[in-house]
Amino acid sequence: MDQNIPTQQPPVTPQTPPVQQSPIMESVPEKKPIFSIIAGVIVIVAIAGYIALASFYNLWPFSYTEPEMEATPTPRAGIESDMSDWKTYNNSTYGYSVSYPPKWTVAEFSPKHVVIGSGDDLMAIRLTSLSEFSEYYGKAVPEETITLTSGLTAYRFITIEETAVIVVTYVEHEGGYLLATYLVDNAQAKQIVQSLEIK
């Protein structure tokens, strides 16, 4: 054979390079600007504040009607109470009497020293001589002269006894004074004094 005869080679078909796909980019959420968040918070606070103020001051859109309540009288200092059901204490030794509220009690330590009261509302009635009065109160000048229901003339002044402000009301009796002492601004104690009678 002739070695110069070229051998036929199979035709070579050119290969196309594979198409490279571009990488898929994941979508990243956009960050909201900080000022929009702050603005939203301010709006919420403003609305809540308006609602609170409108509700408190009964402004639109809120309306409030005070419920009608039946008034019940409550005893207060300076307001006199009904004395129709009061009891009467009679001191037979020194011939005087006073009225007192039904819930109050009487403690007679001696005919000269009587305490009428309930809880913190206490009133002492005692008979003192002129010397005892001067020793205890000194030269007390009456600040007020009053006429009791019975027509008696009584004298009143305010003093401090053991850090408490006390009202002292007294009338002349048995060569001395019949004193009624009580805490200031006690309306019922004033009524008790007003009811004092000497027989």
Question: Which of the pair, 103 or 24, is modelled with greater confidence?
Answer: 103
46 and 128, same domain (yes or no) = no
Q: For the domain that residue 127 is a member of, what is the CATH number?
A: 3.40.1000.10
Q: Name, of 23-27, 71-75, 103-107, 136-140, the range with top average pLDDT.
A: 103-107
62 and 143, same domain (yes or no) = no
State the average pLDDT over residues 128-138.
92
94 and 186, same domain (yes or no) = yes
The whole domain housing 97 covers 87-198
97 and 181, same domain (yes or no) = yes
Residue 122 above 50 pLDDT?
Answer: yes
58 and 105, same domain (yes or no) = no
Domains identified in the chain, total number = 2
pLDDT at 76: 44
98 and 42, same domain (yes or no) = no
**C-alpha pair distances (Å), 194 with each of 2, 92, 141, 152, 170:** 163, 19, 20, 9, 11
Round to whole Å and give the CA distance between 105 and 124: 12
Residue 130 above 70 pLDDT?
Answer: yes
Question: Which of the pair, 12 or 112, is modelled with greater confidence?
Answer: 112
Name the E strands within the chain.
87-91, 96-100, 105-110, 113-118, 121-129, 144-147, 153-161, 164-173, 176-183, 197-198
Write the pLDDT tens digit of every residue in 38-90. 888 888 887 877 776 666 555 555 554 544 555 444 444 444 568 889 999 99
For the chain, report the end-to-end CA distance as a whole number of angstroms: 177
146 belongs to a structural domain: yes
23 belongs to a structural domain: no
97 and 193, same domain (yes or no) = yes
63 and 98, same domain (yes or no) = no
Round to whole Å and give the CA distance between 170 and 51: 62
pLDDT at 129: 94
pLDDT tier at 123 (50, 70, 90 boundaries)? very high
Buried b (16+ CB within 10 A) or exposed e, 34-73: eeeeeeeeeeeeeeeeeeeeeeeeeeeeeeeeeeeeeeee
75 belongs to a structural domain: no
